């Protein structure tokens, strides 16, 4: 029970990486706030936790909306009294659109979810953590946050920004009990990239065959890394970006 007594707020919890984190964290003793725009999916995640004798609530929230974030934090504190772990997992992919194929509307939407959403929610939760002199923030970046070519111009730019945000958060608040790290997944089988995986002729599938792992990843493999970062096992790790990508980055470098 590595997270016993902790309260974890997890965005994108209706499916994919967020759901996998919520289920695993609950199994390890954390109380879960499952957050998503898809309330039906978030509730299904919370119900699955409750059915296994865990403790969870589902809250619908939009990370692009300031008031929605305020309401989310207020409801979370009203129910559990604290937030000790924040997993900024919600994200949006841009289907590898190059700069000349990317409208300003798409650019703005991807950045608003992938980095501005992290800014809004972390800023809202941070005072609660500082008051308790304890908080763990886990930001979901991507292999595309460390190299070029892992996504389109908007996605890649947003994920690079997540890396910088994570490192600066430690520089500013690490001495106040806040520990922030990031995970950089490779191609993981989630609804966001299912179309790429299903297309056996896509360029990314050719790349996967060259990986040391020889396959795409599963959400639980990301959740295991998140559990490590959320627990005291990683208590001396600050500002790290951990690739969980089957060897993709090591192969390209």
Domain positions in the chain are: 7-246
Question: What is the pLDDT at residue 198?
Answer: 75
User: 141 vs 137, 159, 204, CA distance in Å?
Assistant: 12, 5, 18
Q: What is the pLDDT of residue 148?
A: 93
Give the pLDDT score at 89: 98
Q: 159 is written with which tokens?
A: 């994920």
Average pLDDT, the chain: 95
Q: Does the pLDDT value for residue 253 go beyond 90?
A: no
* Residue 202, pLDDT above cutoff 70: no
pTM to 2 decimal places: 0.95
Return the pLDDT at 249.
Answer: 87
pLDDT at residue 118 in the model: 98
Distance CA 60, CA 40 (A): 9
User: Where does the pLDDT of residue 193 fall: very low under 50, low under 70, confident under 90, or very high at 90 and above?
Assistant: confident
Q: Where in the sequence numbering do the catalytic residues fall? A: 155
pLDDT reading at 135 higher than 80:
yes
What would the two tokens of residue 40 be? Answer: 């039906």
Residue 197 burial class via C-beta count within 10 angstroms: exposed 0-12, middle 13-18, buried 19 and up: middle
Main-chain phi, psi angles of 139, to 5 degrees: -100, 135
According to CATH, the superfamily of the domain at 7-246 is NAD(P)-binding Rossmann-like Domain (3.40.50.720)
């Amino acid at each position: 029970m590595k997270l016993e007594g902790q309260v974890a707020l997890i965005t994108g919890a209706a499916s994919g990486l967020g759901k996998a984190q919520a289920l695993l964290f609950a199994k390890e003793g954390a109380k879960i706030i499952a957050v998503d725009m898809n309330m039906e999916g978030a509730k299904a995640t919370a119900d699955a936790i409750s059915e296994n004798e865990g403790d969870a609530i589902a809250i619908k929230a939009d990370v692009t909306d300031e008031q929605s974030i305020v309401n989310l934090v207020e409801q979370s504190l009203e129910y559990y009294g604290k937030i000790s772990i924040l997993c900024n997992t919600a994200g949006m992919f841009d289907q590898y659109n190059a700069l000349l194929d990317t409208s300003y509307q798409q650019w703005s939407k991807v950045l608003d979810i992938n980095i501005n959403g992290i800014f809004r929610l972390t800023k809202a939760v941070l005072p609660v953590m500082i008051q308790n002199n304890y908080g763990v923030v886990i930001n979901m970046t991507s292999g595309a946050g460390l190299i070029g070519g892992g996504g389109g111009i908007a996605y890649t730019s947003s994920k690079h920004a997540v890396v910088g945000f994570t490192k600066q958060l430690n520089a500013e608040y690490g001495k106040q009990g806040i520990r922030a790290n990031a995970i950089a997944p490779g191609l993981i089988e989630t609804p966001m990239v299912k179309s790429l995986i299903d297309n056996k002729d896509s360029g990314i599938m050719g790349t996967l065959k060259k990986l040391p792992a020889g396959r795409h990843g599963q959400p639980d493999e990301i959740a295991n890394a998140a559990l490590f970062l959320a627990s005291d096992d990683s208590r001396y790790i600050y500002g790290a970006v951990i690739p969980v990508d089957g060897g993709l980055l090591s192969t390209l470098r």
